[in-house]
Amino acid sequence: MRLIVANNKKLIEDKTAPKKKKYPDGKSQTQYGKYKTWTYKRWAWEFLCRNTKFRQACDRAAKASELSKSKVAQEFGLVTFKHYADVQTKSNVFPVFKDGAIRIIPNISSEKLEKLVCIFPGQVLIRFKLKAEVDAIAAIDAQLKRARRRLLKLHAEYNQIGDVHAAEMDQEIATDPLSLVQYLQILDLKANGIDSTKEIAAFLYAAKPGTKQYENLDNLVRTLSRSNKIEDADEYPIKHYRYLALQLGRPS
């Protein structure tokens, strides 16, 4: 909701204007609410929304064609376009990331179903059965194991074809909630012009005058410098968010 001028005399409410999400300035960890309950998908989205190029692309595509929106989604690993400033609601959920997404065409009826399916380069079509004459659950598990082995074999073969190379993600990244929220804090602090190691350490560890953290601030600064956490934070909005999006559930 926003206010607009009517006849240059008074302000009225424009109830049609969509609400826009406000991002924290990073000065307090409390700004991130119940971050320990966030899913991997939520973490991935939070980091992507800190990607400057993604934000600029969203702003350009906001009033452009659906094709332009689709291209932005494709570039940043989303199944469908979602603007970084969209407010989260029950109907406006976090977006689906394409790397771990699957397409399902179920047939749980008693009739035969025929579908025309297009398989693009680098894709595989596998058909699973939901029923078995012995143990349906065991049969599903067996199919999943065989599918995984087959997919890994095809993945290796795919990498050997010409110049084709399926990207490998560096999995040596922090995924615990405390580290992730600190990376978000660092990114938000830097976005608000706070980029010195001492200032970041003070906000990151709540080192306010009169506290033990403040008395120990010099040591905290040295620890933060040695950890490379400030530099590592920059990688999450650029590429690490896509690895987070591959995970299921919540970080422990």
pLDDT number for residue 165: 61
pLDDT number for residue 15: 47
pLDDT number for residue 13: 46
Separation of alpha carbons 184 and 27, rounded Å: 11
pLDDT number for residue 14: 46
pLDDT number for residue 12: 47
Angle between helix 197-204 and helix 217-227 axes, rounded to 10 deg:
110
pTM confidence score: 0.83
The full set of domain ranges for the chain reads 20-122+147-159+173-252
pLDDT number for residue 71: 97
Tokens of 109: 């009826």
pLDDT number for residue 94: 87
pLDDT by residue for the chain (252 residues), tens only, comes to 444 444 554 444 444 445 678 899 999 999 999 999 999 999 999 999 999 999 999 999 999 999 999 999 999 999 999 999 998 777 778 899 999 989 899 999 999 999 898 998 889 999 999 999 999 999 999 999 999 999 999 988 888 886 666 566 555 789 999 999 999 999 999 999 999 999 999 999 999 999 999 999 999 999 999 999 999 999 999 999 999 999 999 998
pLDDT number for residue 1: 43
pLDDT number for residue 159: 83
pLDDT number for residue 160: 85
| DSSP calls for the chain | -EEEEETTTEEEEETTSPPBPPPP-SS-GGGG-SGGG--HHHHHHHHHTT-HHHHHHHHHHTTS-HHHHHHHHHHTTBSS---TTBPP-SSSPPPPBGGG--------SSS---------TT-------S--SS-HHHHHHHHHHHHHHHHHHHHHHHHTSTT---------S--SHHHHHHHHHHHHHHHTT---HHHHHHHHTT--TTSHHHHTHHHHHHHHHHHTHHHHHTTIIIIIHHHHHHS-S---
| 200, 233 contact by CB (below 8 A) | no
